[in-house]
Amino acid sequence: MALTQVSSNKCAGGFQKVFEHDSVELKCKMKFAVFLPPKAETHKCPVLYWISGLTCTEQNFITKAGSQLAAADNGIMVVAPDTSPRGCGVEGEDDGWDLGTGAGFYVDATQEPWKSNYRMYSYVTRELPKLINDNFPADPERMSISGHSMGGHGALICALKNPGKYKAYDATVLASGYAGPPLDILLDQGRDDQFLSASQLLPDNLIAVCSEKKIPVVFRLQPGYDHSYFFIYSFINDHIKHHAKYLNA
Amino acid sequence: MDLYEIRGSRLDVIAEETEYQELNRDMASPLKKSPGVKDRHDDMFGNGRIESDINSSRNQLQEKVAEMENFAGHLEEIFLTVEENFGRREQHLEHHYTDVLQTISQRYDERAARLEDEKKRKLEALYTQLLACGHALDASKELIEEAKEVYRSQDKRVFLKTVVPTLKRIEEFAKEEMDLTLATNLDFETPLADLSDVKSMMDSINIVPAPSAPVINPQMANSATQTSLRVCWSLFSDDTVEFYELYYRLVLQNAPLDSTTAPQVRKAKVKETHCTVKELLPGAQYELWVTATNTTGISPASEKALYMTVPSPPVIKQRQCCSCPEAALIRWESGNPDPVDSYTVELTELKGSDGNEKGVTESVVAVPTCQCLIQLQAGHCYLISVRAVNIGGPSDRSKEICISTSGTFFYLLEETAHPCLSISEDGFTIFYGDEELPISAMALDDDNFTRCVAVLGDLIPVRARHYWEVEVDDRTEFRIGVAYEDTERNSYLGGNNTSWCMRHILTTSRHKYEFLHSGQSPDLRITVNPVRIGLALDYDWGTLSFFNVDLEQHLHTFQCQFQRYVQPCFGLDSPGALTIHNGIEAPKYAFIEHP
């Protein structure tokens, strides 16, 4: 699969790059960001897949979250794809900010007119990892998944539906049907997050189910923090460390 | 005269006097390490090692100064005794000779007086004789004159008349024998002077006097055992001595007021200038003095010397020893009523697959107090014992303690426990019982927790990484973490700024977990209740982390700036129990590697 480098910036001793390719699953050109830590020059590195929230592209996380230093320290590659197929001309895809463009929800659509292009689940769990493993010094045995907001939901879906594929998981989703190898979930929630107060985010439900199902979760309610990248920036270190524990074991 | 030789920096008595010459040279040298042991964590104890080198040099110098002072003191004693002894002899001699001189002078006077008398008598006799001769001479002269006159007389008739009687008179006179012998002997009598008593006095000067006082030597290092002392002394004069008597008595630290219970003086009679006294108490001080005796009498007693027997071995306080992978803190009881000079700690590494092979034994000498922090290597097993040392020498080894440096190991500080808390026999499980304790049990020392039912652990004061685990059951309401040693005893763990802890609260509906410091906690939910919790303390990073050991799940990390050493703390908020597991090697996930 041909990859075109779109940009490359030296960052935290490594390189923050953006590539473009023709996606088979999504049938359009897709961009994704890759951070290569200094370790990648000489060794294969484990990979953390970060999937972003509504309205984001591959740019938001790499410019605002400040994850590169921690990733470099821990020798982890970070891959941040876009959040949906773009420019496919699907009817209604730009009608709302929370469905369609920039809102792929990391599922494979089953209905028309979406099902031809909107296959973000397959893209993130199959096409993208294969692309990364073939073109970068990635260790195919060691990958983990994390995300924010819609991406958090996506991360958990991917993890729960692929038991044993991801070494560490990190998201917000119902997990009642999970039956696989042990998980270790770290969850941060800004207390002043407007979506939380609007009850659009329901962490208590997740916690209740995980408690019942004995799925290990540590959920932290961070006072004063909201939904923004400032919140992500503040805690991304803890999350990278959490992933590193398993990726570097 | 017995001589002292000075060898190097020590006083040694010459060989024939002593058999206890092999001194344990280790006693004088500082900590010796076998080469392999040198490479340890430099940064942590680097400063400490320079300091300890300086200290050991200083100690050596101080030792030398003390030895020189002792030597000077002993010399002074010898000097004084010799002075005394010779003073006495001088006096004695002076006295004797004065007597002799007086007697002779007396005889002289007597003799002179007698001679004087004799002279007088003889002179008188001779003078009388002289007078008599003078008279005779005069008489003769008279006669002759008369005769001459008669002869010259013209008157023949007168001549004839007088010549015959005159002739007769002259005849008679001439018939008289002149006694021409001297009236007296011209020689003087010179009887032999009776100087026999003077002679006997002179003789008595040469009689052997009673001996002078011996000088008792100060105690030689390492010449004693736990129950015996080797005592030596010398005689600084030419006196003959038949035997010596050594007296000794136990010196009690606290002298009883009642003199009747004072320890009795014992004595030993020997012919040599040394003696080994037996059947003594260990680690005790004895007062000794010696007298010399010959046919004439007993010398005055020497100065009293104080000797000490070798101490009894100390007793290591097992429950007050703690360790971590880099070090161990050993505490012990002296085992002796009297203070000892120092302690020596000995450690032997156990090698081999089953730990049966013993490595080299290292010693840490000149430990001044009843505890010692020793550097060790991680992942090994050591046997450690202690000896007490005084001037008599080192005691036997104490009973050994085995220290394993697989992880951080500690017992609980039982004196800090809340009265409602009871501790198991092995010291690692704590219980908060249902029963009400009687008020009398609430009589507390300053050290006990009074509100929070808690207890502190005795963590080794070493800035390193420490890991231990706590086992609870699902329903235990606990508080576990760390606190400064002086954390407020009337306050709750986590409720002040001197403690950090994880707290489990059980409500009717659910489990709640808090991570408390200064009464504040982050808002957290944990879905799987941990029953085995790992605690990882990292002084350098200033972190205290909690883990669910069974899931290897990280729960929370406190970022603290520890101002001083902390102790593990364990509390129970409602009846229940918890068990502490330590001495465990920390799992890899417990500590972040320092870059």
Q: Which long-range contacts (CB under 8 A, 24 or more apart) does B179-186 make?
A: B182/B126, B182/B129, B183/B125, B183/B126, B183/B128, B183/B129, B184/B121, B184/B122, B184/B125, B184/B126, B185/B122, B186/B122
What tens digit of pLDDT does each residue of B320-344 get? 999 999 999 999 998 777 778 899 9
Report pLDDT for B282. 86
Report pLDDT for B439. 58
A175 to chain B, any CB pair closer than 8 A? The answer is: no
Four-residue CA torsion sign, A208, A211, A214, A217: positive
How sure is the predictor about A102, in pLDDT bands with cuts at 50, 70 and 90? confident
Tell me if B553 and A223 make a contact (CB, 8 A cut-off).
no
Residue B241 predicted with pLDDT over 60: yes
Tell me if B592 and A220 make a contact (CB, 8 A cut-off).
no
How sure is the predictor about A171, in pLDDT bands with cuts at 50, 70 and 90? very low
What tens digit of pLDDT does each residue of B90-107 get? 887 888 888 888 888 888
**Which letter does DSSP use for residue B38 in this model?**
S
- C-alpha of B424 from chain center: 44
Residue A169 predicted with pLDDT over 50: no
Chain B residues lying within 8 Å of A215, measured CB to CB: 527-528
Please report, for the domain that includes residue A83, its CATH number.
3.40.50.1820
CA distances, B463 to each of A74, B564, B591 (Å): 25, 9, 14
Contact between A161 and A169 under an 8 Å Cβ cutoff? The reply is no
What span, in angstroms and rounded, lies between the C-alpha atoms of B506 and B475? 7
* Mutation target vs A (from B509, B510, B527; most A CBs, 10 A cutoff): B527
Q: Residue A229's domain spans which residues?
A: 4-247
Report pLDDT for B174. 74
ipTM of the complex: 0.78
β partners of residue B543: B538, B559
A216 to chain B, any CB pair closer than 8 A? The answer is: yes
How sure is the predictor about A170, in pLDDT bands with cuts at 50, 70 and 90? very low
In the three-class reduction of DSSP (H, G, I as helix; E, B as strand; rest coil), residue B100 is classed as helix
A249 to chain B, any CB pair closer than 8 A? The answer is: yes
What tens digit of pLDDT does each residue of A131-157 get? 999 999 999 989 999 999 888 888 888
Closest CA in chain A for residue B513: A218
Report pLDDT for B595. 53
Closest CA in chain A for residue B530: A216
A8 is catalytic: no
What tens digit of pLDDT does each residue of B245-285 get? 999 998 877 665 555 666 788 888 998 889 999 988 888 88
In the three-class reduction of DSSP (H, G, I as helix; E, B as strand; rest coil), residue A192 is classed as coil
Does this model's pTM top 0.80? My answer is no
Residue B35 predicted with pLDDT over 60: no
What span, in angstroms and rounded, lies between the C-alpha atoms of A45 and B514? 36
Residue B438 predicted with pLDDT over 80: no
Number of domains chain A is built from: 1
Residue A106 predicted with pLDDT over 90: no
